[in-house]
Amino acid sequence: MTKIDLSGLESRILGLLNPFKSRVSSSEVILPFLSLYVFRYLTSEQHSLFIPSSVDYLQILKNDNKKVTDKLYESLDKLRECYPQIWFNGNYIFDFSPPKNISDNEWGGLILWTLKHLKTIDIESMYYLDADVYPKLFQNIINHFFLEDFNFLPEHFSSPEIGKLMVELLKPSAGQKIYDPVCGTGGFLTSVISYLKNKGENPENIQILGREVNDKICRIARLNMMVHGVDISSIEFDDTLHSFYSDTDNRKFDVILADPPFSLKTKDLVGYQNNYGFKYKGLLPSNGRADFAFILHALDSINENGVIAIMIPEGVLFRGGAEGNLRRLLVENGNIDAVISLPQNSLRGTSVKAYILIMRESKPKSDIFFLDTDSVSTRKNVNNNLSKSVISKIVSAYESRESVDGFSAVVDDAKVINQHGKLLPSLYVKAIENDSDEKSLSEILNGQEKLEEKLLSLQKEMKRLISNCTIYDK
């Protein structure tokens, strides 16, 4: 086995996808491939789980194409005796079954080939240098799939950088209850685990709950928890919008992180008006969009000292009607703590401008902090990942909570109420005044563009005049 660094390991593992690409789509191979990777992890002896000796990786490699998947499922049957949580919703969280458009024999060959080559990759040596190598590689595999193919995603995909930013803004600590009502593959929750580890705190001392409505994504989230050493039953297969609990005391959390689908179309919220987490001071969210349904559910799920960071689309900050009334009430009740704009194209899979809304059950001061990140991010490419420096600037600004022209503003709740509860940072962050007589580069470029347009118009007019002239030969 050759010893290589993390990026080298990632490259070799992702290289094992090449034989699949010409036969199946990304959406068909993501769960089986991650299942093989986690099975490799479970048989590595570098985890805290008890694995029966009868679950033998090398013995499985001795089977042919037709038998290999059956042997894998037999191993899961044995594993299930120790960990019944790997079975949920009528299936194992692992999936080794072939897609519809490929024969069992061909699929078995791909599975066997992948298992053999996974075993030759020396992840073990890297583990002694970085004990988090398995979860890091798992996340990197997910990132690769989501960049390759957005079609099987229910919505956009939040990058690990956004999860890191939100966690650093809220600063969870050991002993707290953490909740993500729309957890996807569990990225925000694992960001909390990584944050606590970096602080030297034991992540086993927190209580985690994640909920996900998509079966395949939920199974990936449970696999994610497994490689992070977290109880996989902390991920529930459930619909946050339509599942409610009477036992609300155990459903109150210290920290909530969420990135719900933007403006999800829904028509039946009125039918749930008497249920947990929807009504706010007698008002219901819009029946056409679920943005405020998620916001109110989160607010109803925090304890008296709890804090929320939730991703929202721009429309939530200014739309009128039922949403405008709810937004004004949230400001009046002192629930809105901060609104932070994210650079354009920060989310993968959508070009919608995104914001982080930070809310509390009760806040110490009657003001709202607004932050506009356009001045600290100059990248305008399709995937505008947040750099470490940008994350640091945002977190520092939120902690210092000061007004800086062109960047941030601290605004009294009363002033926001006078603006009909509108929460767009651009309404409150004071623009930088340019007292210089010199024009900025953007002004020069705009002027040049207008001159070029005028020149083009004049050239067209000149051609028309010439074409109408009669030219006589002498």
Written as one string, the DSSP assignment of 283-300 is B---SSB-HHHHHHHHHH
115, 196: one domain: no
Place of tokens 């994210």: 342
Residues of the chain with pLDDT > 70: what percent? 79
- Does residue 466 sit within a domain? no
Q: What is the pLDDT, as a whole number, of residue 385?
A: 67
Q: Please give the structure tokens belonging to residue 419.
A: 């603006």
169, 122: one domain: no
- Does residue 356 sit within a domain? yes
- Does residue 336 sit within a domain? yes
Q: What is the pLDDT of residues 63-80, one digit of tens each?
A: 888 899 999 999 999 999
Q: What is the pLDDT, as a whole number, of residue 470?
A: 44
- Does residue 187 sit within a domain? yes
334, 377: one domain: yes
180, 143: one domain: no
Confidence of residue 384 (pLDDT cuts 50, 70, 90): low
144, 182: one domain: no
Strands laid side by side in the 235-237 sheet: 235-237, 207-212, 177-180, 253-258, 302-313, 354-360, 336-341, 367-371, 408-412
Highest mean pLDDT among 74-88, 107-121, 381-395: 107-121
Q: Of 148, 178, 213, which one is at a domain's C-terminal end?
A: 148
190, 43: one domain: no
Domain at 16, CATH number: 1.20.1260
Q: What is the pLDDT of residues 259-273, one digit of tens each?
A: 998 888 776 555 555
Q: What angle do CA 30, 145, 374 make, to 5 degrees?
A: 150
70, 179: one domain: no
Confidence of residue 460 (pLDDT cuts 50, 70, 90): low
Q: How many domains does the chain have?
A: 2
Phi-psi region of 90 (alpha: psi -120 to 50; beta: other; left: phi over 0): left
**Mean pLDDT over residues 146-161, rounded?**
67
88, 166: one domain: no
- Does residue 440 sit within a domain? no
135, 179: one domain: no
Beta-carbon neighbour count of residue 90 at 10 Å? Answer: 6
Q: Of 148, 168, 196, which one is at a domain's C-terminal end?
A: 148
Does residue 430 carry a pLDDT above 50?
A: yes
- Does residue 407 sit within a domain? yes
- Does residue 80 sit within a domain? yes
Cβ proximity of 289 and 266 under 8 Å = yes
Beta-carbon neighbour count of residue 237 at 10 Å? Answer: 16
76, 201: one domain: no
Confidence of residue 424 (pLDDT cuts 50, 70, 90): very high
Q: What is the pLDDT, as a whole number, of residue 471?
A: 39
Q: What is the pLDDT, as a whole number, of residue 276?
A: 45
Q: What is the CA radius of gyration of the chain?
A: 27
- Does residue 65 sit within a domain? yes
Cβ proximity of 430 and 405 under 8 Å = yes
Confidence of residue 472 (pLDDT cuts 50, 70, 90): very low
Q: Please give the structure tokens belonging to residue 33.
A: 């491939």
Cβ proximity of 115 and 57 under 8 Å = yes
**Mean pLDDT over residues 175-201, rounded?**
94
Q: What is the pLDDT of residues 228-258, one digit of tens each?
A: 988 888 999 988 877 755 444 467 999 999 9
Q: What is the pTM of this model?
A: 0.85
Q: Of 427, 443, 464, which one is at a domain's C-terminal end?
A: 427
Does residue 333 carry a pLDDT above 60?
A: yes
User: Where do the DSSP E strands lie in 103-206?
Assistant: 177-180
The one-character DSSP state at 237 is: E
- Residue span of the structural domain in which 65 resides: 6-148
135, 58: one domain: yes
Mean pLDDT taken over the chain: 84
Domain at 374, CATH number: 3.40.50.150
Comparing 195 with 450, the larger pLDDT belongs to: 195
Q: What is the pLDDT, as a whole number, of residue 467?
A: 57
183, 282: one domain: yes
Q: What is the pLDDT, as a whole number, of residue 438?
A: 52
